[in-house]
Amino acid sequence: MKKYILIRILRSIFSILVVTSIAYMLIFEFVPRNRVFENDGMYAKISNRPEQLPLYVNQKYEELGYLNFSAQDEICRDTYGAATSAYTICMDTTSSLFSKAQAKYEAKGYVFKTIELSGVVYATREIPMLERLWSFFSKMIVIDNPNVIQDETHPDLERKIYIGQNWNKTSYALMCSGCEHKYLVYFDWAFPFIHQNVVSINFGRSMPNFYGIPTFEVLTMDQGVNVLKPVTFPSGVTADSGVLEYTCSYKTSLDSLDQTKFTDNYANCSLNKDAPSMMGTSFIFGILALIFSYLISIPLGMYMASHKGRAIDKAGMTYIVFVIAVPALAYIYLFRYIGSTFFQLPESYPSLGPNNILSYIMPTISLALPSIAGLLMWTRRYMVDQNTADYVKFARSKGLSEGQIYLKHILRNAIIPIAHGLPGAIIGAIGGAIITERIYAIPGMGKMLNDSIRVFNNNMVITLTFIFTALAILSVLLGDLLITRIDPRISLDDKKKGKKKHVKR
Amino acid sequence: MSNANEKFQFVKIDEFASEHISAPHYSYWKSVFKQFFKSKLAIAMLIMAAVIFSISMIQPLFSNYNPMASPDISDFSIRFNRPNLTFWFGTDHWGNSLFDAVWSGARTSITIALLATSINMGLGIAVGAIWGYNKVLDKYLLEIYNVVANVPFLLVAIMLMYVLGPGFWQLIFVLCMTEWLSVAYFIRTQVMIIRDREYNLVSRTLGTSAVRMISRNILPFLTSVIVTMLSREIPSIISSESFLSFLGVGLPPQITSLGKLISIYITYYGTYPYLFWIPVAVLASISVSFYIVGQTFADASDPKTHR
């Protein structure tokens, strides 16, 4: 069994990698690369300065991983070192030293271009697809260590890991100098109490929406309005601020305001805000919808089965047909309309904000509608089928009440396929989140996918594809493992013939 | 005594009648249609589907609706007219008749749904039948299926549309890209269930070829299952198409569809509700009528329901 689980985990990881790689290759190969500038404010500003435009464009392409780009000064510095006489000569494109450097770069596959207006020379090299893919995956997991920060203005930066105290001297933490983050491992009263900044996931930077922020950070940082409270900074200054000290990371140049507050360069801190992050928002809705749909559909399915052919059963069946036949777009709007007209519930999430419970009702219902239909159908069908099974007849002949038979006998058997449907419900919730978050304007991952596609934010699309795929594949794995826990008769090993096949969702 | 004998005559044995089997005449398709037309709801839905289908195929030929052109854009008097006798479904913010727009959109939505469904079903049934019959193929296809099925369909569709760019054929490609595999998987499971039944075992022992086994023994057995799938497939494709167009990754600006109309007119949800609700209602009517006709037909095509 252990071996089987290990193989399953490896296969799940393999699936995630395959799907992400295909997505990555397709996006970077087929989406025209210049479309990223369509919604870029910086590009619009620079576009009337043709001598700078190619430099900006190629620099961005390099950041996005399309090509290697070197401007003239970088070529010369690379070949002859900074502030040498050879470097100065090299900056003249007619010199022999420059042609030597050029030859060296051309051998590596670089192509040289000259900007006609300013005479500046730059070189670019297209990165082949597989090399790009490799660098994407190899940079994906980042481990913070004291040699990460290479800051020319601070060559004598201390490099060490030590145990220190936080600003208020209330707690101890594993801290670092020379790492990206100041606090590596720390404790606080928020779940899960022990937090770390050592291992982080890197998918590149977001562009053009959330310009320049790493995509994973965009999804995990808090949203909403700053929450201010009095903070005593390391320098002793006390001010009302939303700074979260544990998030502080290295900042190359400090402004005057930073200098009054901080004693070192770890001044790049996130702010405390009142709304959960995009990922958090999506998870809240996903979990609420999951709980809601199970709470409604299992009792209702049982009730329908025990009142087969009566009004409630017919109403339930009509609902199932309704959800299957009517397009999602139509019924979500219909339910939103009913909710807002008859129950005065908000039509969009931002109108009452994340801290009002009323904002959560309609989106949760919309998200749960399809999975309720599926579960209802399953539960009812199963209950009806089992009603004539021998063990049920026996229980009935013993004189047990119908309630006892349904709860103690049939439900225990029915729970297995229902539990196996759990991953399906999660996958459905992901798909549903894309629709629901768009319609209710919920700032979650589903809406972010939609927004990112509209502005051609490739890195963000890949990040979200990765997250959604990973969630879906892992939930299938967990669903399979869950049923072996619930039902000891099911074995997932290949040796026994009762191999569980995937139930069609 | 002799008188009585004279009154009777010997009847010759009727060769024809003795060969006649005294079971009532049974024709499969006749029974299917008889069963189908028993349901009044199904007849009503069939008429509705037929009416919607013919209007949406014929009306756009005469209206020449073009979403890129707004000929009456400068005439403010015919903007936001509520449904009346001249404009049956009213007019929108550019003075275009919603009646024209809706049927043009319905034509696109129905065409896409029918095309994508037939590709999915055709490919799915063909591959699924072989897949269920061939154990070597099963090993490989199952692996592919496990990777594909675990990824949410909408995510794949959105991602592919993003990569390919908007377009009619791109949309059909995306709607078929992974969906046929789930049809094939479903058929494969069904084929595996009946593959080793006695009548198939006998047939195989008698030397029936695999192709004939699949096409004559197995697939006819699955008629009602296939029709059930078909009736679910059409609403699901319509739903996906409308949703992709709604997100703006479906069709290019020069082609309209019901999903696109809904996404355009959502702005007038509060102020001019007819602009929003009419396309929604037409979209829902199309897919509900197709679904109910399909379901009833699937029930009727199951021989167990005959007689």
- Is B259 an 8 Å CB contact of chain A? yes
Q: Residue B113's domain is classified under what CATH number?
A: 1.10.3720.10
Average pLDDT of the residues of chain A: 82
Tell me if B78 is assigned to some domain: no
Tell me if B235 is assigned to some domain: yes
pLDDT category at B115 given cuts 50, 70, 90 is: very high
pLDDT above 90 for B116: yes
Q: pLDDT tens digits for A276-331?
A: 888 888 888 888 888 898 899 888 888 888 887 888 888 988 888 888 888 888 88
DSSP letters spanning B68-133: T--TTTT-GGGSSPPS-SSSTT-B-TTS-BHHHHHHHHHHHHHHHHHHHHHHHHHHHHHHHHHHHH
Instruction: For residue A92, give how far its alpha carbon lies from the nearest alpha carbon of chain B (Å).
Output: 43
pLDDT above 60 for B192: yes
Instruction: For residue A27, give how far its alpha carbon lies from the nearest alpha carbon of chain B (Å).
Output: 6
Average confidence (pLDDT) over A209-223 = 84
pLDDT above 70 for B2: no
Nearest residue in A to B235, CA atom: A325
Average confidence (pLDDT) over A170-181 = 84
| CB atoms A325 and B243 under 8 Å | no
Residue A388 pLDDT? 79
pLDDT above 80 for A489: no
Contacts of A123 (CB under 8 A, 6+ apart): A69, A70, A75, A102, A105, A110, A111, A112, A113
Q: pLDDT tens digits for B141-188?
A: 888 888 787 777 888 888 888 888 888 898 899 889 888 888 998 888
Residue A493 pLDDT? 60
Residue A356 pLDDT? 82
pLDDT above 80 for A363: yes
Tell me if B155 is assigned to some domain: yes
Which sign does the torsion angle of CA A185, A188, A194, A199 carry? negative
Question: How many structural domains compose chain B?
Answer: 1
- Is B284 an 8 Å CB contact of chain A? yes
Range of B35's domain? 28-55+96-305
Burial class (CB in 10 A: 0-12, 13-18, 19+), A39: middle
Tell me if B4 is assigned to some domain: no
Residues in B closer than 8 angstroms to A38, CB to CB, are none
DSSP state of A275: E
Q: What is the residue whose two structure tokens read 């768009």? A: A438
pLDDT above 90 for A60: no
Asked if B238 and B289 touch (Cβ cutoff 8 Å), the reply is no
pLDDT category at A266 given cuts 50, 70, 90 is: confident
pLDDT above 90 for A384: no
Tokens of B126: 């063909």
Instruction: For residue A12, give how far its alpha carbon lies from the nearest alpha carbon of chain B (Å).
Output: 8
pLDDT above 50 for A505: no
- Is B149 an 8 Å CB contact of chain A? yes
| CB atoms B259 and A430 under 8 Å | no
Nearest residue in B to A461, CA atom: B159
Residue B256 pLDDT? 86
Tell me if B11 is assigned to some domain: no
pLDDT above 60 for A24: yes
| CB atoms A473 and B185 under 8 Å | no
Q: For chain B, give the percent of residues with pLDDT over 70.
A: 98
Burial class (CB in 10 A: 0-12, 13-18, 19+), A423: buried
Q: pLDDT tens digits for A388-416?
A: 788 888 888 998 888 888 888 888 877 77
pLDDT above 60 for A504: no
**CA–CA distance, B279 with A266 (Å, rounded to integer):** 56
Tell me if B45 is assigned to some domain: yes
Residue A499 pLDDT? 42
Average pLDDT of the residues of chain B: 84
DSSP state of A496: S
What's the pTM? 0.83
Residues in A closer than 8 angstroms to B164, CB to CB, are 30
pLDDT above 70 for A234: yes
Ranked by mean pLDDT, the top range of A20-34, A334-348, A358-372, B114-128 is: B114-128
Instruction: For residue A312, give how far its alpha carbon lies from the nearest alpha carbon of chain B (Å).
Output: 20
Which sign does the torsion angle of CA A42, A47, A52, A58 carry? positive
Least confident of A309-318, A478-487, B95-104: A478-487
Contacts of B70 (CB under 8 A, 6+ apart): B94, B95, B96
Q: For chain B, give the percent of residues with pLDDT over 90.
A: 11
Residue B122 pLDDT? 93
Tell me if B179 is assigned to some domain: yes
Average confidence (pLDDT) over B56-68 = 81
Average confidence (pLDDT) over A471-477 = 83
Least confident of A259-263, A420-424, B103-107: A420-424
pLDDT above 80 for A11: yes
Residues 33-62, chain B: which have Cβ within 8 Å of A?
Answer: none
pLDDT above 70 for A104: yes
Residue A503 pLDDT? 43
